Structures are given as C-alpha cells and as structure tokens.
Amino acid sequence: MALTLRALAAERPLGLRVRAAESGLDRPIGWVHPTELTDPQAFLEGGELLLTTGLALDETTSPGYIRRLVDAGVAGLGFGVGLSHETIPRSLVETAEEVGLPVLEVPRKTPFIAITRAVSRAVAADEYASLVRTGKGQQELTRTAVGKGGPGGVVRKLAKLIDGWVLLLDSAGAVTEASPSSARHFADEMREDLGRLRAGTLVTVAGEDEVVLQTLDTRARGVLAVGTREPLDAAGQHIVNTAVSLLSLALEQNREHGGALRRLRSGLCELLAAGHTELATRTMKTLWGGVPEEPWPVLAVTGPAGARRSLADALDVEVAGEKVFFGESGTFVLALGDVEAVLRLVSRIGGLHAGLAEPVSTVDFPAGLRQAKQAAEAAKAERTELVRFAEHAGRGFLELVDSQAAQAFSDSLLAPLRQHDETGRGELVASLRCWLEHHGHWDLASARLGVHRHTLRNRMRKVADLTGRDLDSPGVRAELWLALQAAGG
C-alpha cells in the first residue's frame, strides 16, 4: 500500500503540520521532488509531493503557483519555513484550501532529505510487498494449473487473489467458467464490449466494478474478464497476466487433447461400421468406462460444419459418458445410446438435421448406421429437424402403391383393432405402433407407453388374435407397419 500524505504527516520525528486541504491527505505519494521553480510542470509526472522553500514566491505569485501545481497533478506541497519565509504565505494557504491541494508545513529543523528518505523507504517497502505478492500469486496459480483444478481452478484461484470476480468466456461470449458463479450475469452487461474486442486488452465497467477484458492466446480466441471495485495495482496486473498465460496454455492443451479423443471416437465408429465390434466395444470400455446398453438407437446428424462442431463440443461437456457414445463420420455426427439427450442439443443449436434408426445390436450396427444416415439426408432434403428411418422407409414404399388400395388394405387389417379400442377395452393401435417403432423391444416400448411389459405382451397377443397373424413373422410386422403408415398412424 503506497504511503499517503496522512501517514507521512503522522510521522512525529518529521514534525510536519497540515496547513491546507486536510480532506485530501489520503492521496498516495508517488515520489518526492524538491524544486524552487515557479512553474515546474514540465518536470513532473503527477502524484509527487513537491518540496519548496518558496524562494521565488510571495503573496501575489502564490495563487498562480498553486493552480499550476494542481494542473500538474501533484499529490501535495511541502513548504519549508524558517528560510525564505518565516510562515507560509497566506494567499498560498487560502488558494490551496480552495482548490483542495494539501499543504504540509516543514519546520526548519527537518531537512528535505529526511522526507525524501521516509517516502523512499515506504516506496521500497511497497514495491517489495508487491513483488512478494506477485511471486506468491504466480506460484499459487501455477500449482493450480498443473494440478487437477484445470482452467476452472485457475479462475477460482485468480478471483481470490485479486479479491474480485473472474469470468472465462469462449469465442461466442458464452461463460465457460465463473468465480463466483453469481458473476455470470456480468457477461450480458459486457456484450457490446466483447463484440468490440478483437485482440489484446480492453478496460470497461460493469455495474460499480472496473473490468479488464483480456483475450487469450489460443486459436479458440477465448476472453478472460476480471472485475474489481478498485483498479488493479501493479501486483494485480502481473497476477492477471500470469493467469492469462496459464489459461492460454491449458486451453490449447485441452483443445489438442479433445481433438485426439474425437479422432479416436471417429475411428471407433469406423470399426463398428466395419463389423469389428469386439475391438471397438473393448476400447470404449477401457477409455470411457463402459458402453451404452444394447440395443442401440443410432442417430446421425448432419448440417453446416460450424453447427456440427458446436454439437460435438456440447456432447463432450454435457452428454458423453456411459449412456451416450458419439463420433464423427464424414459430414455426420453419430450418436448411439440415450439419443433423446442428443436430440435436445440438436434443437438448442439449430441448423442441424437428424436421422434416427431402429435400435440395433452391435452386430447390426452397420445396418443401423446406413439407416440413420439415409434418414438424416431425408431430414435435410425436407428441411426438418428429425426423420425416423421407419417412417421414411414406409413413406418411400407407399409412394409406389396406389393410395386408395393402400388405404383399403390399412382399413381391412386394422379394423378389428380399432373396433376393440372403441369399446374402451384397450389401446391396441397405439401399443402396436410403439412396439413396432422400437423393433419389438419390450422394455423400451413399455417404458415409452408407461405400462408394464407384461401388459404390453398381453396387448400384442390380443393383436395377434384379432388379426389372425403371427407377430413373430418379419413379413407380418412389415404389413402392420405399412398399414399404420397408410392410415397416418
């Protein structure tokens, strides 16, 4: 903490006496400069305690002298008495009080060098404390960065070191890390400033806080935002610069690591597509701790490259795990497992088109992948978000059949089921459709319907009885599905 005029005046051995503008005594002293010039502005930088004996000053020239010192930005004036003047000129004191420039009376017994030494000791102590604080802060940040804390740990540590708040933002201005978490709202206040920032540093305000925006030296063009009630001192600036360097390195390493993992994911998708299921699933278990439970609904997502990258980034952070495995294949992002979570991200990001295949075993994955890609291409052609392959395939076949004949076939086949449902004794048509959609998988279909699997089995037995058909036959299932499609079910 820099020495203030008040602290200097309180050093009793110096014998200083406050003569004007006591309210300004909390100003810090940058340095001490003795001079007898009546206009020393050209030799000042601002913040100095100016010392003079008033050799060239009198009651007439003192007011102009004081105003020139104010223009130069000096912190205060020390006036030595007992040499050129027995007392400080009255006009000097009155003008200094008027303009708010503190004046300290220096007795003849106190040499100017004693004041200079006092300030010099304080400046040296302040610089040493700043150096110690900087070194300690840099060490703590470095330990955090190389430990398990990662970028989030660095952000939290930095907020503590500067006694403020810190946000880490991506290239789109979205907050990826915040400390404290309540500081996230500041991102909205800085939206315009973030839009103007291309590279380097920008100082702005958010609420009552001064904010330093600093771009990170990464290809991802992230931004670090640091907010404090008071402007950062030299130590704070050095600590922030250290955090910027560490975060830039950590994020670039994370980016390279993430890129390697994505290439590995894509390679595993290629292995699955080529039928090397044992090797692919064993690797998935080794690296990610498990694989999604079979059978796998297979989802293929296509769209602009930027939107696909955003989807892959979101999957990395929010979804990927034992329930979902994803990878990239050409212009598609592939996902298998809990695809409902993936579809929510597709909706949130926008501009993407998804195709969903029937649940398949690992052995049937190649067929499921082809179906999902075909459905995704259909979704893209139709400019819709999602197309299910079963619906797409049914529509494709029905286009080849006379519509009246297809409708008659549907009415004939489904009539017994509709008559049963109209009596209020069940929901056979809806249950049949759901069961076929889930490829005859009892647990998945019953969960979707919200009934016990035994209830669903009873309903399917009733369907078989009423239609007189064997539901274990692939041909019968196909006929029933086409009948549902023709009916708009």
Per residue in 363-398, pLDDT (tens digit) is: 777 888 888 888 888 888 878 888 887 666 555 555
**Mean predicted lDDT score pLDDT of the chain:** 84
- For residue 475, what are the CA distances in angstroms to 357, 438, 472, 481, 482? 19, 16, 9, 10, 11
Per residue in 154-211, pLDDT (tens digit) is: 889 898 988 899 988 877 778 888 889 888 888 888 888 877 777 788 888 888 889 8
Phi-psi region of 337 (alpha: psi -120 to 50; beta: other; left: phi over 0): left
Q: What is the dihedral of CA 277, 283, 286, 291, to 10 degrees?
A: -40
Q: How do beta strands 48-52 and 175-179 pair?
A: unpaired
Give CA angle at 449 (448, 455), nearest 5°.
Answer: 125
Q: How confident is the model at residue 74 (pLDDT cuts 50, 70, 90)?
A: very high
pLDDT given for residue 400 in this prediction? 47
Least confident of 128-137, 203-212, 234-243: 128-137
Per residue in 238-250, pLDDT (tens digit) is: 888 888 888 877 7
What DSSP string runs through 189-201?
HTHHHHHH--SSE
Strand ranges across the sheet with 209-215: 175-179, 165-169, 223-228, 209-215, 201-206
3-state secondary structure of 343: helix
Verdict on whether the full-model pTM lies above 0.95:
no
pLDDT given for residue 489 in this prediction? 47
Domains and CATH numbers, the chain: 5-110 (3.40.1390.20), 139-252 (3.30.450.30), 274-396 (3.30.70), 401-486 (1.10.10.2840)
CA-CA distance, 168 to 152, in Å (whole number)? 9
Q: Beta strands of 297-362 (E only): which ranges?
A: 298-302, 324-329, 332-337, 353-356
